[in-house]
Amino acid sequence: MVKTTFTQDIFKLTAPYGNPYQGTDKRLLFVCSAGLLRSATAANLFAKKGYNTRSCGSTSYALIPFSENLKQWADKIFFVNEENYKDVIRHGFDLEEETVQILNIPDNFEYNNPDLLKILEKEVNV
């Protein structure tokens, strides 16, 4: 058996999809740097609107890093800014243009910041 590293594993699809317990709501993935503040705020906001949501990060120090499993799971992927999108592309992921939206949200918001919520309401096109 060949041992793989965590970095190699994130490029492999290892989870089944079509789980009936996840429901049929549109699946939205929000990506920021660490997956803790901006993307988590967005996931929380849109979960309250009835979407199936997840958040993750584009960097190696992310709590939950972007992975092939998350990519395949999502109906639409929202990168909070261009740098997060570029991080994921640099890591070798291929993304379908029609499933991606890049927002222009700087990395200076705390979780559930009211100004961040307003920006998300205005900019996220579901």
Q: Decide if pLDDT at 11 tops 70.
A: no
Residue-level pLDDT at 12: 64
Return the percentage of the chain with pLDDT > 90, whole number: 79
Residue 3 lies in a domain: no
C-alpha 35/C-alpha 98 separation (Å) is 22
Q: What is the pLDDT of residues 20-50, one digit of tens each?
A: 666 778 999 999 999 999 999 999 999 999 9
pTM reported for the whole predicted model: 0.86
Output the domain CATH number for residue 108. Answer: 3.40.50.2300
Mean pLDDT of all residues in 71-97: 95
Residue 7 lies in a domain: no
User: Mean pLDDT across the stretch 2-25?
Assistant: 61
Q: What is the pLDDT of residue 48?
A: 97
Residue 116 maps to a domain: yes
Number of domains in the chain: 1
Asked if residue 60 belongs to a domain, the reply is yes
Instruction: State residue 5's pLDDT score.
Output: 54
Does 2 fall in a domain? no
Arithmetic mean of pLDDT, 48-71: 95
Q: What is the pLDDT of residue 23?
A: 73
In-domain check, residue 17 = no
In a domain, 51, yes or no: yes
Residue-range definition of the domain harbouring residue 60: 24-123
Is 16 a member of any domain?
no
Q: What is the largest CA-CA distance in the chain?
A: 50
Q: Answer yes or no: is pLDDT of 2 > 60.
A: no
* Contacts for 112-119: CB closer than 8 Å, 24+ residues apart: 112/41, 112/44, 113/41, 116/38, 116/41, 117/41, 117/45
